[in-house]
Structure 1
Amino acid sequence: MSRNWTKEEVETMRDIVMSGKSLKKNMNLLPGRSYHGASTKCVEVGIRVPKVGERILILMSDGAPRTARAIADALNLPRKSVSDALRNAVWPDDGQSMHICARTAESKEFLYVIGEGLNVNLSPAEAERRRIAKREREADKRYESRTTWWPRADPVVISAINAMVHAGRAA
């Protein structure tokens, strides 16, 4: 039989989730509780697990510059997920929430910091990739269809295609 959740347990769970840490990896802070039970209780009390971008912003809210590798390690996330989220966060046209403030001396990795600003030291290849992506997004917006993409099929054409398919099977 399950026991009721205490206020302290719910607050501990809220602190874990809101700090951007993984609930699953921090279940040792809730002894005697299962991950499934904790995640169900999160839904019941309205604790929403932040998405990758939100988790990164929570971590970066202290203002310290970090590399993508350091962010991924701190949040126990795959580096690809973190890199994708950071790429979107530093884009100046789409509500920039972070920017690249420098590069590390030893590995030439970008250092990210929260807040708007100019991105420094983009490689020529990265700058070109971003220009192309921006041009493609603008073209997508310009030629975006306002109607349903697939037109309604003509019943006569559908009947003819079905007849041809059935005739092919009989042969």
Structure 2
Amino acid sequence: MENKTVWRKITLGDAWGVDKLVAALGKNRHMIDPAAEQIMRTPEFNTGHIASEIALTKVVLKELGLEDGVGYADIFAAAGKAGLKLCPPELGPRLRLAYDQPYEETLVVAMVPIKDEDQLASVFTVHHWDWGQGLGACCCGISDKEDDWHADSEWIFRLSGRWRSKSSPYH
């Protein structure tokens, strides 16, 4: 894969908590899928307390040499070899707020999956379909063997940037 360029920069942190994010999404008339709000309200989801900017890139999985039916372990391994980094969970709702998305686009946020109330690991999606622009959550299956991602799906990875959060494993 050739060197990826910066697709967009997003500022995270700045003491935005879950309630402020949910309120901002509602104020901007962005739909929040129930599963997305569920994972936002877990202890694994956190927001930074100091504003910092991260650089993002948009990647189609086949650009990483991946084929249809690929799972998370393979996606993350291929991304790591290409110098791409996982995003903090806060990126999902912050990207939804900042991105005026074209119709019929769905982007998957490359992040460590967070378990929903049914204990199914999920990641955020940012999408624009007939019902409007929204923040969703995509179930990753019970195990990495069940992911079954399409090679033409578009993912958002982090190129650079650090953020600080008391419990963030992503520094």
When the two structures are superposed, what TM-score results if normalisation uses the length of structure 1? 0.24
Per chain length, whose mean CA-contact separation is higher, i.e. which structure has more relative contact order (CA < 8 Å, sep 6+)?
2
Greater CA radius of gyration, 1 or 2? 1
- Which has a greater percent of strand? 2
